[in-house]
């Protein structure tokens, strides 16, 4: 158990590994944010198209 604690404490002071972990974390976080943006952008585009279609129908009815 002491050996494991010594190994973990040596990793805690290795700033190079901490920097790599931070870069990997934020890269994965950015990819996840981009994918969720694409997903919700498609849904919002569908809603926008539906609203435009309904608005066009309403204006056609008002013209008649």
Instruction: List CB contacts of 11: < 8 A, sequence separation 6 or more.
Output: 17
Domain-located, residue 5: no
Domain membership flag for residue 9: no
pTM above 0.75, yes or no: no
3 lies in some domain? no
Q: Is 7 within the bounds of a domain?
A: no
- Residue 10's pLDDT is 80
- Residue 64's pLDDT is 66
Percentage helix, strand, coil, to 5, in the chain? 95, 0, 5
Q: pLDDT digits over 22-61, tens only?
A: 999 999 999 999 999 999 999 999 999 999 999 999 988 8
Q: Can you give the residue range of the structural domain that contains 20? A: 15-63
2 belongs to a structural domain: no
> How many distinct structural domains can be found in the chain?
1
């Amino acid at each position: 158990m002491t050996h494991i604690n010594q190994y973990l404490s040596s990793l805690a002071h290795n700033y190079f590994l901490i920097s790599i972990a931070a870069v990997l974390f934020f890269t994965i976080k950015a990819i996840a944010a981009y994918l969720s943006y694409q997903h919700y952008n498609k849904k919002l585009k569908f809603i926008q198209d539906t609203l435009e279609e309904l608005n066009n129908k309403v204006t056609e009815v008002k013209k008649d």
